[in-house]
Structure 1
């Protein structure tokens, strides 16, 4: 049945069953309004405060005599914005395990979404994304008129997408399309969250009264039949490396050792104007965590100062946007070419890499107000550097679909010995595996469903992104010569000697400090005092001469120079 809740923020429809607890409906309401359950009152009459929601949540829908279509009134006090915002400490930003790093503490789901809403989200959310069209030969009106042949197209227009070779809708084009379909403009008093994360887990708290799975199961608690198909949208449209040196220095590790390398992409998200309402991940630097590199793979070692690196990047308004790894094999032709191992007849990502991408996307979920649970998929990208069809070294960027995330989270799929295929697990006492199909075009050009068991192509879980270098690079970090971390196996050491040699190239403007690898190492030495560390970060962030002069004239900086000169 459908229950309607009227509140200050409009009317919401909630789907429930007779035997559901009223808490199910209350939780759906709380996901849409900014209040605590302690201040929420529910009434069946307007202008009546009603009963506290906390006193009703333990009763069933039927015991409250609620019927399909009933209107209830939600009365509440909104949270004080000064309390609900994310509170961030003022601890040191130093790179160290012995010092405390500022870690935000989130006081509520709503405030978390507010805090994570980036400038690009505010911008694209406010735009309609309409695609302008000029007057055509079919038009029969003046220059100031408009008709069906020249009126702007919506950002999800299918013909425009096919004509311009756009394989996937941008996230905001997709969001606006489904929002248009779910929340008709003529029915503005009723609202349904347009985004919904699929879940393929069996519900072990089924309200039907039977024993939980595996002793009992019904149509209400078992996951639906799954039909896989190529995802029509993508959370990120493009990956841009801010400067060619960012990628080249990462690949240099393979050029010097012949072993593979892994790194985290740090950067920001910005509008991408090549597709309607598009988003790009702009990569400013690659951080290489501790790892054991091999000819055919990588073993990651526990990264003890990950939170500190994240906190330092956050001070510069940068954050993890993805991962990158190499899969390179020299061709043996002695011309710098490499083997092309990833193509349409083999695979683009292996099943192990798809599983890794899904786990990362689940870990770095995208926060949004347009979903009931305040999150939807992820903007975390996976980039592999491998050989192209002509033997060139090239990056290729991917994400995996929301279905891939849900399948992995429900433990329905696992890797197999064939890299291009994903294996489907069998049901057991802890998981229920429904029927899984995938849609494909047969030899007659017709779309048919094929049983995915026991395995199916990983391509059905992939979402491809474009990637490139900018024509006019404007990197945030303009210096890129300091030693990269954790490259001891190459004889490249981050130490005071390397720091001295790097700072010795300073021409008096602080430009040598504009290198994240240098910044992270310098802060890890603890030679500077806390306020001097903040001056250093302030200079890197703002590039002001005043901050630079205060830094180099500080006692800590002078001590640093003295230590480096004596050590040289």
Structure 2
């Protein structure tokens, strides 16, 4: 039965058995109380009067005390005296274990939320309204029902503006009681459709050997989720999507990528949250014409999360994206329009995968009794539109979907728009219990009808729509998308030699700190800064072990600095690191004018031979002419020196024969 407890710490609910000892309730009260003196805890069926010390009821059952399902009891207690004056300063640490124990009993108090949640918790979310010229009869400083601010969950406002789902924080405002005790009561309890093991009563063997009403989940009625964790998906730049699509355009194989970005307030929805995508990181995968295979768990995920968090604005994984593109037979430049309301928007297999990913990426929340609630991981799909072009669709799946997947209750169907409910299995290996599942729909007469979801139900009952778009004035964090992309073997190969060659072409070894730069070097610094501000380049350099972890943090902060392209001094912290100097040493050795056929400090011959001739910038066998002129350092009449790579070129050329950049 359910017993409600009200104390100065707030309101709490406890599932207890009628035959349970009063000490079971006593222990539950201790868990939700702050520093109580156990001997002073009293209960009563009224706010004042009739108090009975709870310890005196030991051995009595709750039923014998007259408690029934849904009853409310009032609890009072005195806190333990803290005589700090009598405690020596040196023994203050002895108090810490007791304090930490109290904190551990409240997991929601230990949570560190995302900055966007911290922001919205500091706001009331009220929707301001202007003075109504027709109905407002008061002065300019007055307020009435026609102009007072609306609550962020106001139903009429959402209907008027076409907002289908409440934002997460607007939903919290709606369900949180408006009382001083509300801060102590987490209003959210994550759904759990699994059998409780062991049974709270302890009267029978655990599932699958036994089951009762206390440990089995209740029947499930599927319904549209009234709120969503993310309201909008924003891609920082169209270049991010175009670069991701290049692999599909060149191979026809479907691709998958993790969305690297951050969460920000979204002003188009009351107390809204948007996921801003700055880059797409592609894990190892095997693409097919009609699908792809991934290895999960993703082994590189901890490194990528750690690297992303080191930016000037910390980033994280906000979702994932994949392609589902199929060119039409009539026109290969157009794509099949396969996802629409008359077919499916998200397949059952994709919905189950989304639920699995959301289960493994829960959101920290101070409003949940467990300290975690739902997930902000967004699913983005690149697919064909009605006119044959390509567009993004964004979704999440509901809390019911994640709970059903966690309980192993559903599976994909041959029909992509249908989800199958699994059969109950009492074997020791599976031990799957499936309660009754229902869903409601309107029949041909417009009446609400409830129907069993067994053996299958439409996938849209699990979906939550998320809007998407691109900013009108893009200001991406990463300035370049030209670097080779990871895990595209044979298509784009990331190599140290390529990076060093590009650094040499950019003249990176000649770039010094801003206070030592000569006039006219601004363009070179600008080009280097833009080239460095590339997520894929940074992620690759992090794997080479050429740059120490502390210096990688500096590189990430410099590359993501919002003033990088306008302030050349932003490169100074990076140039001063040992890691950068190490890279520059290798770059000088990799410079084209210092090949194995040239004298001086050339690269190791075995390493040089591993570099393709096209990347060395000149004919390896040529040891005369312009190359020999650079090796000796002697300029000759009728030649021009490239300002980017310092290579001497014949007077008849207008571009550098090594780096291809225009000659000064």
Bucket of the pairwise TM-score, normalised by the shorter protein: 0.7 to 0.9
Partner of 2:157: 160
Query: CA–CA distance in 1 between the matches of 2:590 and 2:37?
Result: 66
Query: CA–CA distance in 1 between the matches of 2:105 and 2:236?
Result: 33
Partner of 2:262: 268
Equivalent in 226, 238, 245 of residue 232 of structure 1 = 226
Partner of 1:437: 438
Q: State whether residues 5 and 29 of structure 1, in contact with CA within 8 Å, keep that contact through their aligned partners in structure 2.
A: no
Partner of 1:195: 188
Partner of 1:118: 114
Matches within 5 A, 1:265-304: 265-301=259-295, 303-304=298-299
Equivalent in 294, 300, 307 of residue 305 of structure 1 = 300
Deviations, residues 460-493 of structure 1 (Å, cap 9, x unaligned): 0000101111111111111110000011142x11
Partner of 2:543: 524
Deviations, residues 59-87 of structure 1 (Å, cap 9, x unaligned): 9975997965141548589x99xx99xxx
Partner of 1:557: 583
- What SS does structure 2 have at the residue aligned with 1:423? strand
11-20 or 387-396: bigger deviation: 11-20
1:382/1:178 Cα in 2 relative to 1: closer, same or farther (>3 Å)? Answer: same
Displacement of 1:558: 2.4
1:553/1:168 Cα in 2 relative to 1: closer, same or farther (>3 Å)? Answer: closer
Are 2:124 and 1:128 aligned? yes
Matches within 5 A, 1:58-457: 62=62, 69-73=73-77, 75=79, 116-136=112-132, 137-179=134-176, 183-185=177-179, 188=181, 192-208=185-201, 209-301=203-295, 303-316=298-311, 317-334=314-331, 336-429=333-426, 430-457=431-458
Query: CA–CA distance in 2 between the matches of 1:356 and 1:373?
Result: 24
Query: CA–CA distance in 1 between the matches of 2:382 and 2:224?
Result: 23
Q: State whether residues 260 and 326 of structure 1, in contact with CA within 8 Å, keep that contact through their aligned partners in structure 2.
A: yes
Are 2:40 and 1:44 aligned? yes
Q: State whether residues 20 and 207 of structure 1, in contact with CA within 8 Å, keep that contact through their aligned partners in structure 2.
A: no
1:517/1:148 Cα in 2 relative to 1: closer, same or farther (>3 Å)? Answer: same
Q: State whether residues 532 and 556 of structure 1, in contact with CA within 8 Å, keep that contact through their aligned partners in structure 2.
A: no
Q: What is the TM-score when the length of structure 1 is the normalising length? A: 0.84
1:159/1:517 Cα in 2 relative to 1: closer, same or farther (>3 Å)? Answer: same
Partner of 2:642: none
231-240 or 554-563: bigger deviation: 554-563
Deviations, residues 170-219 of structure 1 (Å, cap 9, x unaligned): 1111111011xxx243x747954211212111223223323333443332
Query: CA–CA distance in 1 between the matches of 2:165 and 2:248?
Result: 33
- What SS does structure 2 have at the residue aligned with 1:508? helix
Partner of 2:655: none
Query: CA–CA distance in 1 between the matches of 2:172 and 2:485?
Result: 40
Displacement of 1:113: 6.6
- What SS does structure 2 have at the residue aligned with 1:325? strand
- What SS does structure 1 have at the residue aligned with 2:471? coil
Q: State whether residues 267 and 318 of structure 1, in contact with CA within 8 Å, keep that contact through their aligned partners in structure 2.
A: yes
1:311/1:479 Cα in 2 relative to 1: closer, same or farther (>3 Å)? Answer: same
- What SS does structure 2 have at the residue aligned with 1:211? coil
Q: State whether residues 290 and 301 of structure 1, in contact with CA within 8 Å, keep that contact through their aligned partners in structure 2.
A: yes
**Aligned residue pairs, count:** 523
Deviations, residues 358-405 of structure 1 (Å, cap 9, x unaligned): 011110001111111111110011111001122110010000000001
203-212 or 455-464: bigger deviation: 203-212
Displacement of 1:110: 6.2
Displacement of 1:13: 2.3
Q: State whether residues 397 and 463 of structure 2, in contact with CA within 8 Å, keep that contact through their aligned partners in structure 1.
A: yes
Query: CA–CA distance in 2 between the matches of 1:75 and 1:338?
Result: 69
Query: CA–CA distance in 2 between the matches of 1:280 and 1:365?
Result: 17
Query: CA–CA distance in 2 between the matches of 1:325 and 1:158?
Result: 35
Query: CA–CA distance in 2 between the matches of 1:28 and 1:176?
Result: 27
Partner of 2:621: none
Gaps of 5+ in 2: 43-53, 83-91, 98-102, 509-523, 565-569, 592-602, 609-615, 617-664
Gaps of 5+ in 1: 47-52, 85-106
1:466/1:540 Cα in 2 relative to 1: closer, same or farther (>3 Å)? Answer: same
Partner of 1:91: none
Matches within 5 A, 1:431-510: 431-490=432-491, 492-503=492-503, 504-505=505-506, 507-509=524-526, 510=529
1:285/1:115 Cα in 2 relative to 1: closer, same or farther (>3 Å)? Answer: farther
Q: State whether residues 377 and 396 of structure 2, in contact with CA within 8 Å, keep that contact through their aligned partners in structure 1.
A: yes
- What SS does structure 1 have at the residue aligned with 2:73? coil
Query: CA–CA distance in 2 between the matches of 1:126 and 1:355?
Result: 35
Deviations, residues 503-522 of structure 1 (Å, cap 9, x unaligned): 33462242211111101112
Query: CA–CA distance in 1 between the matches of 2:192 and 2:497?
Result: 54
Query: CA–CA distance in 2 between the matches of 1:6 and 1:453?
Result: 43
Query: CA–CA distance in 1 between the matches of 2:60 and 2:584?
Result: 71
Q: CA RMSD in A?
A: 3.2
Displacement of 1:528: 3.0
Deviations, residues 424-473 of structure 1 (Å, cap 9, x unaligned): 11222112211111111222222221111110000000001011111111
RCO comparison, higher one (Cα < 8 Å, 6+): 1
Displacement of 1:276: 0.5
Displacement of 1:259: 0.5
Partner of 2:574: 548
Partner of 1:99: none
Query: CA–CA distance in 1 between the matches of 2:130 and 2:154?
Result: 16
Query: CA–CA distance in 2 between the matches of 1:229 and 1:485?
Result: 41
Partner of 1:50: none
Displacement of 1:166: 0.6
Query: CA–CA distance in 2 between the matches of 1:318 and 1:406?
Result: 28
Query: CA–CA distance in 2 between the matches of 1:298 and 1:366?
Result: 28
- What SS does structure 2 have at the residue aligned with 1:264? strand
Deviations, residues 121-171 of structure 1 (Å, cap 9, x unaligned): 111112111112222212222222222122111111111111111111111
Query: CA–CA distance in 1 between the matches of 2:579 and 2:374?
Result: 48
- What SS does structure 1 have at the residue aligned with 2:170? helix
Q: State whether residues 113 and 368 of structure 1, in contact with CA within 8 Å, keep that contact through their aligned partners in structure 2.
A: no
